[in-house]
Amino acid sequence: MYGTPDGAKTLTGVLNWVDDAGLAIGAAFGNARRRLVKEVFC
């Protein structure tokens, strides 16, 4: 969860854990999170 100090903008994301390397989306989620944070908060 990310937010600006004044609360004007917030971003929340959830990733469910998957115990299968072939189905895991952790890396893609991390990349998307970085892009979204940069776009919304920078």
Query: What confidence score (pLDDT) does residue 13 get?
Result: 81
Query: What confidence score (pLDDT) does residue 19 get?
Result: 75
Give residue 29's domain range: 2-41
Please report, in tens digits, the pLDDT of each residue of the chain (42 residues total). Answer: 889 999 999 988 887 777 777 777 778 888 888 998 898 888
Name the residue among 8, 18, 25, 20 with its Cα closest to residue 33.
25
Element (H, E) at 3: strand 2-3
Half-sphere exposure of 31 (CA within 13 A, CB side): 4
- How far is the C-alpha of 6 from the C-alpha of 32, rounded, in Å? 24
Token digits for 3?
């937010």
- Tally of structural domains, the chain: 1
Overall pTM surpassing 0.75 (yes/no): no
